[in-house]
């Protein structure tokens, strides 16, 4: 998938909760408020997922794109 198609796909996920995996193994969950061509992300109501039952709230954060390994958009209903 080309970078422009990926950005277009992720634009559809704006204002939805996404899961973001980072280098080093950390996982974040939050409402995707914005992104750019470098995959820098703005997450609102973000939290670090510690385990299945625990998380640490972070609030609004900016995630630098070169740390992002995976972005899981919300499930779509068809």
pLDDT of residue 8: 82
Is residue 59 scored above 90 in pLDDT? yes
pLDDT of residue 75: 67
Contacts 24+ apart (CB under 8 A), 36-43: 36/65, 37/3, 37/7, 38/65, 38/66, 39/65, 39/66, 39/68, 39/71, 40/64, 40/65, 41/65, 41/68, 41/71, 43/18
Q: Are 65 and 45 in contact (CB under 8 A)?
A: no
pLDDT digits (tens, 9 = 90+) for 2-55: 777 878 888 888 999 999 999 999 999 999 999 998 999 999 999 999 998 999
Domains of the chain (ranges, CATH numbers): 3-72 (2.30.30.100)
In angstroms, rounded to a whole number, what is the distance separating the alpha carbons of residues 60 and 47?
Answer: 9
């Amino acid at each position: 998938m080309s970078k422009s198609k990926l950005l277009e796909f992720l634009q559809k996920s704006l204002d939805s909760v996404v899961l973001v995996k980072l280098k080093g193994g950390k996982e974040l969950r939050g409402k995707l408020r914005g992104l750019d061509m470098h995959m820098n992300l703005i997450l609102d109501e973000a939290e670090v997922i510690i385990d299945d039952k625990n998380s640490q709230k972070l609030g609004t954060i900016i995630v630098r794109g070169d740390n992002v390994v995976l972005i899981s958009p919300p499930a779509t209903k068809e």
